[in-house]
Amino acid sequence: MKRKLDFMSVLGLVLGVGLMFIGIVLTKDLETQAYIITVVNLLSFYDPTSIAIVLGGTLACLMIMFPASQFRKIPAHLKIIFLPNRYDPKRYIDRLVECAKKARVSGLLALEEDANQMENAFMKSSIMMVVDSVDPEKVKSQMESWLDNLDERHAQERVFYDKGASLGPAFGMIGTLIGLINMLKSLQDVESVGPNMAVALVTTFYGSLLANMIFAPISNKLRVRHEEEYLCMRIICEGVQAIQAGENPKLIEDRLIHILPSYQQKQFGVSAESGEDKGRKAKAPREKKNKGK
pLDDT at res. 2: 64
pLDDT at res. 37: 84
What is the C-alpha to C-alpha distance for residues 13 and 25, in angstroms, rounded to an integer? 19
Q: What is the mean pLDDT of the chain?
A: 86
pLDDT at res. 144: 93
pLDDT at res. 1: 55
pLDDT digits (tens, 9 = 90+) for 159-202: 999 999 999 999 999 989 988 888 888 777 777 777 778 778 89
pLDDT at res. 268: 74
pLDDT at res. 43: 85
pLDDT at res. 182: 80
Burial group, residue 142, by CB count within 10 angstroms (0-12, 13-18, 19+): middle
The list of the chain residues with pLDDT below 70 reads 1-2, 270-293
